[in-house]
Amino acid sequence: MVDPQRLHGHILMRTRSQDVTDTLRGWILNGTLAAGDRLEEIPLATRLGVSRTPVRSALTALSNEGLVDYQPKRGYMVRQFDASEVFAAYEVRAAIEGLACRLAAANGVPADVEGKLRSCLAQGDRVLSKGRLEAADYEPYQLMNITFHNTIIELSGNSWVDRFVSQTHAVPFVSDRIILWHDYPVILRSHDDHHRITNALITGQGARAEDLMREHVYFAGLFLKENFHMIRQNPQWAA
């Protein structure tokens, strides 16, 4: 017979390990932990306020994901991604999210989903109506961007789309949670894309919606690739 107390402790440890994994993954993806940084169990455990066990489990998981490398006698280090690797992930994400748009348009946009998309557009419009980017607007805009893309992926009705897009998000600077928050014209162009994509979806123009989303994500990747050296030096631009 399974000891309920022991089982409960095991579940808690798994949950804590997952929480630590999610936190460390987030730090790597947003640049808090930079490429080449050593990841030592004791300092990380102290920083996170946990024991070494969940940290050890998290480092193993992140190594399996390809975000950290293990080197004998040196331990774990944040993996170095170059611009070409990041851009390659953007190309894949562009294709998959383009497919999501085509499927979403074919499925039709229910009134409540249309309302959610239009709410995203209105929020982005409010932020950009100032004619400049302010630090306080970053998180609201970021949340809007996540909601916009996730809504379309969900509307596609294809669970594989969600799964494969999530895999591209495991590469630094590729997630829709990352906004290159330093160039107003680029952000304005990106949000104008949101308007065009929404209109294509609502009017059932699947091919147009697919092309627009492909270009939307591809351009973000191209811009990042061209500015990659500056973003490496200024990670706050993308976080």
pLDDT reported for residue 232:
63
| Highest mean predicted confidence (pLDDT) among 1-10, 31-40, 86-95 | 86-95
pLDDT at 80 over 70: yes
Closest CA to 190 of 96, 132, 121: 121
Q: Tell me the fold of 83-238.
A: Four Helix Bundle (Hemerythrin (Met), subunit A) (1.20.120)
pLDDT at 129 over 90: yes
Rounded CA gap, 234 and 239, in Å? Answer: 10
Region 61-78 average pLDDT: 88
> 3-state class of 39 per DSSP?
strand
Question: Which residues share a beta bridge with 71?
Answer: 75
214 contact partners, CB below 8 Å, separation of at least 6: 94, 95, 97, 98
Task: Please report, for residues 109, 211, 227, the alpha-carbon distance to residue 87 in angstroms, rounded to integers and kept in the order given.
Answer: 31, 18, 12
> 3-state class of 120 per DSSP?
helix
Domain ranges of the chain: 4-78, 83-238
Q: May I ask the CATH architecture of the domain 4-78? A: Orthogonal Bundle (1.10)
Of the two residues 31 and 33, the one the predictor is more confident about is: 33
* 62's tokens: 């992140």
Query: What backbone phi and psi angles, to 5 degrees, belong to 147?
Result: -60, -40
Task: Concatenate the DSSP letters of all residues of 40-103 into one string.
Answer: -HHHHHHHHTS-HHHHHHHHHHHHHHTSEEEETTTEEEEPP--HHHHHHHHHHHHHHHHHHHHH
pLDDT reported for residue 234:
60
pLDDT reported for residue 64:
87
Region 165-174 average pLDDT: 82
* 185's tokens: 């014209």
Q: What is the pTM of this model?
A: 0.77
* 108's tokens: 């039709």
Torsion of CA 71, 77, 81, 82, to 10 degrees: -80
Question: Which residues share a beta bridge with 39?
Answer: 76
pLDDT digits over 180-198, tens only?
Answer: 778 899 999 999 999 999 9
Rounded CA gap, 67 and 127, in Å? Answer: 33
